[in-house]
Amino acid sequence: MKIILINSRADKVRTINLNSWAKGLLSVLLLGIPVAAGTMMGLKIADGRWELLFDNSIAEMQHELMIQHEEVQAGRDQVASSVAAMTLKLAQMRSRLVRLDALGEQLTQIASLEDGEFDFSVEPGLGGPDTAVITESARAMDVQEQLSTMFARLDNSLDSRESQLQVLQSMITDNKLKSERTVAGRPIVKGWMSSEYGMRTDPFHGDKRWHGGVDFAGRKGSDIIAVASGVVTWSGERSGYGQMVELNHSDGFVTRYAHNSENIAKIGAIVKKGELIAKMGSSGRSTGPHVHFEVFKNGRTVDPATYIRRTSR
């Protein structure tokens, strides 16, 4: 290999002969420098990309950690809020249970039930074999499981109280219905008995006559009330009775209220015990304001005094 050197004036020419080692060195210099420079540049660019990728990964991981921290805190807040809400609800249920027990005791006393038949102050007797397998993990309950267990016990207590109250209400209703339909008490609010049942001296001609009821005297316009619940089968004028109201009750009883100044109850109406049915007067065969009260049992008159003194029990 020859290298020809020419000066600027071209008046001299110099030739250099290169051997194989010189050729190799020159090739390395001519080719190695660009390759090395390109390699260096490529490595620099690659390093920049890796640094950028690394920085992005770090930022993404930091963002994920921040999200995880927020979710953990939110979970803690939710658990705390849930436990607080369950605790408050538990306290409310216990308070309601205490009031329910007090109401049950009061109703038991009002209903005059036997002692011990309804005891709202103690837990009801419950039992039965437990088929569940108890494990160590089952014993290690967390706070929410403990609260859930307490809620379950309160639910059982409330169910028991509700059952007792339903039976108590049914008994009270039965007693009330029995009291409503039982012929008992006076047909007036104010007044006094002026004539009894049986033979008496007739006030018009002085002879002995049968008196099939009792008389209650009072002021004109005083209230006349039903001695038991029933259906109005007569409301109007009747010979000898004047203005009269007749009620048909259960168990074959019929009551009559006569000599009224005004009938309040109408035929076909259903009246309750103690309900206003008429106003006291002196219509018909009467000497003054009073109510003639009769009681029939299976179609025959009976002494009203027995039922006037009678209680609803």
| Residue 227 included in any domain | yes
| Residue 186 included in any domain | no
The reply to whether 153 and 177 lie within a common domain is: yes
Domain count, the chain: 3
**Eight-state DSSP code of residue 8:** T
Distance CA 136, CA 139 (A): 5
Q: What is the pLDDT of residues 272-281, one digit of tens each?
A: 999 999 999 9
Of residues 312 and 12, the one with the higher pLDDT is 12
Q: Which two tokens stand for residue 304?
A: 């009203």
The reply to whether 46 and 114 lie within a common domain is: no
| Residue 131 included in any domain | no
The reply to whether 70 and 92 lie within a common domain is: no
Looking at residues 51-73, what average pLDDT do you find? 64
Q: What is the pLDDT of residues 117-166, one digit of tens each?
A: 555 555 554 454 555 544 555 544 566 677 677 777 777 777 776 676 66
Distance CA 247, CA 266 (A): 10
Contact by Cβ (8 Å): 260, 237: no
Question: How does residue 63 score in pLDDT terms, banded at 50, 70 and 90?
Answer: low
Q: Which two tokens stand for residue 136?
A: 């160590």
| Residue 53 included in any domain | yes
The reply to whether 230 and 260 lie within a common domain is: yes
Distance CA 256, CA 220 (A): 18
The reply to whether 198 and 295 lie within a common domain is: yes
Q: What is the pLDDT of residues 197-236, one digit of tens each?
A: 999 888 777 788 899 999 999 999 999 999 999 999 999 9
Q: What is the pLDDT of residues 82-95, one digit of tens each?
A: 777 777 777 777 77
Q: Which two tokens stand for residue 155?
A: 């639910």
Distance CA 304, CA 19 (A): 158
Phi, psi of 102 (to 5 degrees): -65, -40
- Which region, left, alpha or beta, applies to residue 112 given φ > 0 means left and ψ of -120 to 50 means alpha? left
- Our measurement of the distance from residue 13's CA atom to the centroid of its chain's CA atoms, rounded to an integer in Å, reads 119
The reply to whether 12 and 61 lie within a common domain is: yes
The reply to whether 113 and 217 lie within a common domain is: no
- Which region, left, alpha or beta, applies to residue 272 given φ > 0 means left and ψ of -120 to 50 means alpha? beta
Q: Which residue segment(s) compose the domain that 18 sits in? A: 2-74
| Residue 285 included in any domain | yes
The reply to whether 225 and 300 lie within a common domain is: yes
* Strand-strand pairing, 2-6 and 223-225: unpaired
Q: Which of 74, 93, 113 is the last residue of a domain?
A: 74
Question: How does residue 73 score in pLDDT terms, banded at 50, 70 and 90?
Answer: confident
Distance CA 92, CA 105 (A): 20
Distance CA 147, CA 149 (A): 5
The reply to whether 67 and 171 lie within a common domain is: no
| Residue 313 included in any domain | no
The reply to whether 176 and 108 lie within a common domain is: yes
Highest-confidence range of 34-43, 106-115, 127-136, 260-269, by mean pLDDT? Answer: 260-269
What is the domain-level CATH number for residue 278?
2.70.70.10
